[in-house]
Amino acid sequence: MTAAIVGWAHLPFGKHDAETVESLIVRAASEALAHAGVPAEAIDEIFLGHFNAGFSPQDFTASLVLQADPGLRFKPTTRVENACATGSAAVHSAIRSIEAKRARLTLVVGVEQMTRTPAAEIGRNLLKASYLPEDGDLPTGFAGIFGKIAEAYFQAYGDQSDALAMIAAKNHKNGMANPYAQMRKDLGFAFCRQESEKNPFVAGPLKRTDCSLVSDGAAALVIADLETAEEMPRAVAFRASRHVQDFLPRAHRDIIAFEGCAVAWQRALGDAGVSLDDLSFVETHDCFTIAELIEYEAMGLAPRGQGARVIAEGIVAKDGKLPVNASGGLKAKGHPIGATGVSMHALSAMQLCNEAGDMQIAGAKLGGVFNMGGAAVANYVSILERVR
C-alpha cells in the first residue's frame, strides 16, 4: 500500500442548468480540500478526469481546478481521459505520482456536464468511445453497442430479461438511500421487466430501465502517501489498483466475456492478497444492466453464462453475501462520464469510514471498485481498506 484517500466530496448528480463545468469543478475541489482538512498550498499535483468529447464548449479544462483556491496556482495539473473510466484513470494517475514519490498530496476531480447537449448529439459524443469503423453508424448510440452485446449473450445463454430487470430494480431500490443519486425512486421488478410507454425498448432487448442516466455532476478526492495519511483524521488505503486495457474493436474479442474486466480483477485481488469472499461490497460499472450481469461472471461470482443466479439468489443484494452497487450504481445515481470513477471511489471511502448514511453496509471492511471505459476496453479495479 502506497496511497490512501484522506478526504472527498460528492455533488448530487442530475440536471444542473444553473451550473457549469467550471462551477462543478470548483465546488467539488473546494469541498474535498475542506473535508480532508488540507490547505490548497499543500497539494503537490492535481488530476482532472473530464471526458468532454463535445459535451462542453470549454475544452482544455485542467486549469479550471485552480479556480477553487489561489493556493493551487502553479501546481502541475493534468486532464486525464479514458472514456467512461476517465475518473478512475485520474485516480490511478494520482496513485502513480505518489508511488513515484513525485507527490505526497494529490487532488483528483472528476466532472461532466451532459444534459445541456441535445439527445442526438449525446449519442454521437458517446459513440466516440467506440470503434467507429465498426459502430459509428449505430442509430441508437452507445446503447446500440450494449444492445448487440445483450443479443449475443441471450443467443449464447438464453433470454435473460428477468435477470436484467432484477438488476435494474435492485439498483433503483438501493438508490433510494443515496442522497447524491439522480433518480431516487424504487421502480420495482414488474415495471423494469415490462415493456411500456414509459419503459420502451431502446436497443435490442434493452429497455429504458436497462440504461444509465445522462447526468451532470462532479466528485473529488484528496489522495496522500501513507506517511502523510497517518496524520489525517481518516485514511482509506489502496491495497491494490490495477488497469487493464483491451482491444477497441469488438470483433477482436469475445464481447460477452469482458476478458479485460476479468484480468483486472484477478490481478488486483492477487496484488491485495484477498479473494472475493473477503470483500464487504463492490461498486461496479452498470452503464447498462447487461454490463453488471456479465461483470458478475468476470469478477468470479459465477461461471460464464450463470450470472443470472447471482441476482436471483440475492447474493448481490444490499443484505446479501456481496452487496453490489449499494449506492444504486450508475443506473440510479447517474453517469456523468468524467465523474463516475471518482464517485465510485468516494462512495466506497464513505462506506469504509462508516460515513455512508442510509447507504451504509454494516461492518464494511474491504471494498472493490470496477470502472470501465467502452465495452470493457479500459478496465480499472481498486481494492480499498480503511487504515485510519
Tell me if 296 is assigned to some domain. no
Kindly state the cell numbers that stand for 318.
444490499
3-state secondary structure (DSSP) of residue 13: coil
Task: Quickly state the pLDDT bin for 123 (edges 50, 70, 90).
Answer: very high
Q: What is the pLDDT of residue 89?
A: 98
The distance of Cα 33 from the centroid of its chain, to the nearest Å, equals 21
Task: Quickly state the pLDDT bin for 63 (edges 50, 70, 90).
Answer: very high
Of residues 281, 264, 257, 243, the one with CA closest to residue 366: 281
Mean pLDDT score, 77-86: 98
Tell me if 66 is assigned to some domain. yes
Q: What is the pLDDT of residue 27?
A: 98
Tell me if 79 is assigned to some domain. yes
Mean pLDDT score, 301-309: 98
Domain count, the chain: 1
Tell me if 92 is assigned to some domain. yes
Of residues 240, 334, 165, the one with CA closest to residue 2: 240
Q: Exposure string (b/e) for 264-289, b if CB count within 10 Å is 16 or more?
A: bbbbbbeebebeeeebbbbbbbbbbb
Q: What is the pLDDT of residue 192?
A: 98
Task: Quickly state the pLDDT bin for 200 (edges 50, 70, 90).
Answer: very high
* Phi and psi at residue 83, to the nearest 5°: 55, -140
Domain that holds residue 58: 3-117+214-229
The C-alpha atoms of residue 353 and residue 366 are separated, in whole angstroms, by 11
Q: What is the pLDDT of residue 72?
A: 98
Tell me if 369 is assigned to some domain. no
For the chain, where are the alpha helices, taking DSSP H only? 21-36, 86-99, 119-127, 132-135, 141-157, 161-175, 188-193, 226-229, 259-272, 289-299, 307-312, 329-333, 337-352
Residues 288-297: pLDDT tens digits? 999 999 999 9
Q: What is the pLDDT of residue 309?
A: 98
For the chain, what percent of residues have pLDDT higher than 90?
99
Q: What is the pLDDT of residue 9?
A: 99
The C-alpha atoms of residue 139 and residue 141 are separated, in whole angstroms, by 6
Q: What is the pLDDT of residue 322?
A: 98
Of residues 242, 324, 243, the one with CA closest to residue 289: 324
DSSP string, 93-112: HHHHHHHTTS-SEEEEEEEE
Given a contact cutoff of 8 angstroms between Cβ atoms, the answer to whether 335 and 327 are in contact is no
Tell me if 206 is assigned to some domain. no
* Phi and psi at residue 37, to the nearest 5°: 70, 35
The CATH number linked to 41 is: 3.40.47.10
The C-alpha atoms of residue 94 and residue 351 are separated, in whole angstroms, by 21
Tell me if 53 is assigned to some domain. yes
CA contacts within 13 A on the Cβ side of 204:
25
Task: Quickly state the pLDDT bin for 251 (edges 50, 70, 90).
Answer: very high
Tell me if 98 is assigned to some domain. yes
Q: What is the pLDDT of residue 278?
A: 98
Task: Quickly state the pLDDT bin for 98 (edges 50, 70, 90).
Answer: very high
